[in-house]
Structure 1
Amino acid sequence: MTTTRHGPPATAAHEDQGGHRRRLLDALAAGIAEHGYRGTTVADIVRRARTSRRTFYEHFSDKEACFVALLADANAEMIRQITAAVDPEAAWEEQIRQAVLAWIAAAESAPALTLSWIRDLPSLGAAARTLQRDVMDAFVTMIQTLCDTGELRAAGIGPVPRPLAILLLGGLRELMATTVEDGGRIGDITGVAVRAAMALLRPDSS
C-alpha cells in the first residue's frame, strides 16, 4: 500500500506567498527609512524580512521592482485613507480641509518613503515611470472625484480640470519633499497646504 504525500493546501500556500511578499515590502520600507532607497540593498531587504534571496527573486526581479510594488501599495492605501476622511455633506471648505489633513497625515506616517517616492522614483526605469504616471492619474482622479459633491458644486467648484488637479498635486508633493529635506516634519506644512488648496479650488480663483 502506497501513501500519497500531499503538500500544503492551496489557500495556505497562497497566504504564505502573500506573507512573504508583505514582509519583503515592509523590509524595503524599513530600509528606506534608515538608509534611503539607494542605500538599501537586496541583502538588506532579505535580512530584515528574515527570508532568502531565492524567495525575494520569486516575487521581484530586482530591487526596483520591489520598490515599484511598495509604492503602488502605499499610494493606493493613501488614496483610500484620504477618500475615507472626507465627509461629502460637510461645508466645501471643511471637505477640502479634511482631504488635505488626511493627505498630510498619510504622508507623515512614512516621511522617508514619501520623499523617496518624489525624489527617487523619477530617476528609475520604465516600470517606475509607468507607475509614476499611473499614480499621478489616480491622484488626479481622486481630486476630481472628491470635488464632485453637492456642497462643492453648489459653491461653484468643479468639475476640476486636469491641469488644476496636477498643479495642486505637484505643489503639495514638492512642498512635502523640500520640508523633509530641510529637516522639518510634513505636518509643518498643514496650514499653508490647506490655504493653498482652498485658494486654488475656490470659485473665484479663476
Structure 2
Amino acid sequence: MTRSKSAARPDHTPVRRRIRGLDADERSEQRRRQLLASATELFALQSYSGTSIEQICQHAYVGTKGFYDHFESKEACYVALLEQITVQFQQRVAEVAAESAALDWEQRLRAVVAAFVHAIADDVRLAKVTFGEAGGISPAVEKQRRGNRRWAGAFLNTQWPTVDADERRSLAVSLAAIGGMFELVADWLHHHDDGGAPDSVQTLTDDLMHFVKVVELGRRAAAESR
C-alpha cells in the first residue's frame, strides 16, 4: 500500500516554547498586564509626574526592554491605562442601563449612577488615575479625556426622560451635565484623600443623583416654556 505524500511529509511546524505553561505571546500579554497594574498602583500612590518608567518596571518585575516592547513612553503607558479603565467603566454603566431600561426615570438614574460610583469608588486608585491625574498631563491625554467626556455626554443624552427637539442643544446640555458630575467626583476624591467620612461613597451617589435631577428639571422647564 502506497503512503500519501501528506502522510509521509514530516511536520516542520516550529514548537512554541512554553515557560510556566505560557507561550511567548501569552508571556508578553502577562507582562503588559503587570506593567499596567503597577502603573495603576504607583500613579495613584505617588502621582504620574512622581513615577518613573524604572519604578514601574521594578514594581512589575519586568525589565525596561519589556516596557518598551509595549509602550513607547510613560505617557503611552498612561493612555493605555486610561483606555483600559474607561472601557471597564463604560461596559459596566451600559450593562446596568440596559438591565434597568424598564424602570422609571428616577429608578433607572439611581441604578446607573450607583454603577458609575461603585466602578470608581470600590477601588479608589482608579478614581485617582482617571480623575486626579488626567488633567494637564499632555495633549494626547487631554484628547483621550475629552473623548471620554463626549462618550459620557452622548450616553446621558440617551437616558433623559424628555428629549429636546434640538439634538445638538440637547447633547450640549448633556455634555455640560457630565462636566458637573465629573467635578463632583473630583471634589469627592479630594475630600477622600483628606480623610473623608466613611459614608462618602453614598454621599457622592446622593450628590450626583440630586445634581442630575436638577438638570433634568431645568431641561423640562425650558421645554415647557417654548
**Match of residue 105 from structure 1:** 118
**Match of residue 66 from structure 2:** 55
- Taking the TM superposition and a 5 Å limit, the aligned residue runs for 1:29-178 are 29-86=40-97, 87-147=100-160, 152=161, 156-157=162-163, 161-178=170-187
1:173 partner amino acid? F
Alignment match, 2:188: 179
TM-score by length of 2: 0.76
Q: Confirm or deny that 1:204 pairs with 2:217.
A: no
1:178 partner amino acid: D
- Compared CA separation, residues 146 and 76, structure 1 to 2 (3 A): farther
Instruction: Measure, in 1, the Cα distance between the counterparts of 2:92 and 2:58.
Output: 30
Secondary structure of the residue aligned to 2:87 is helix
Question: 1:25: Cα distance to partner?
Answer: 0.6
Kept in 1, the 8 Å contact 2:16–2:23? The answer is no
Query: 2:158 & 2:51 partners in 1: Cα distance?
Result: 37
Q: Distance in 2 between matches of 1:132 and 1:24?
A: 21
- Give the letter for the 1:201 counterpart: E
CA distance in 2, matches of 1:70, 1:196: 29
Distance in 2 (alpha carbons) for counterparts of 1:37 and 1:130: 17
Following superposition, the deviation at residue 47 of structure 1 comes to 1.5
Residue 144 of structure 1 and its aligned partner are, at CA, apart by 2.4
Distance 2:127 2:134 in 1: 10
Q: Which amino acid counterpart does residue 164 of structure 1 have in structure 2?
A: V
List alignment gaps of at least 5 residues for structure 2: 1-11
Distance 1:187 1:58 in 2: 42
How many Å separate the matches in 2 of 1:39 and 1:187? 31
Give the % identical residues: 21
Query: Is the contact between residue 28 and residue 45 of structure 1 (CA under 8 Å) also seen in structure 2?
Result: yes
Q: Between Structure 1 and Structure 2, how many residues are aligned?
A: 196
* Native 8 Å contact 2:120 2:127 kept in 1: yes
Q: Is there any run of 5+ residues in structure 1 with no aligned partner, and where?
A: none
- Tell me, what secondary structure is at the counterpart of 1:123? coil
Equivalent position SS for 2:158 = helix
Q: Secondary structure of 2:127's partner? A: helix
Q: RMSD between aligned alpha carbons? A: 2.5
Show CA shifts across 1:91-149 (max 9, x none). 111111111111111111233432342343231223212212221222122222344xx
TM-aligned CA deviation for residue 205 of structure 1? 4.3
Q: What TM-score do the two structures reach when normalised by structure 1?
A: 0.83
Closer, same or farther: CA 8–134 of 1 in aligned 2, 3 Å: farther
Q: Which has the higher contact order (CA 8 A, sep 6+)?
A: 1
Structure-2 change in CA distance of 1:104 and 1:135 (3 Å): same
Asked whether the equivalents of residues 157 and 201 of structure 1 are also in contact (C-alpha less than 8 Å), the reply is no
- Counterpart of 1:192? 207
Bigger Rg, structure 1 or 2: 2
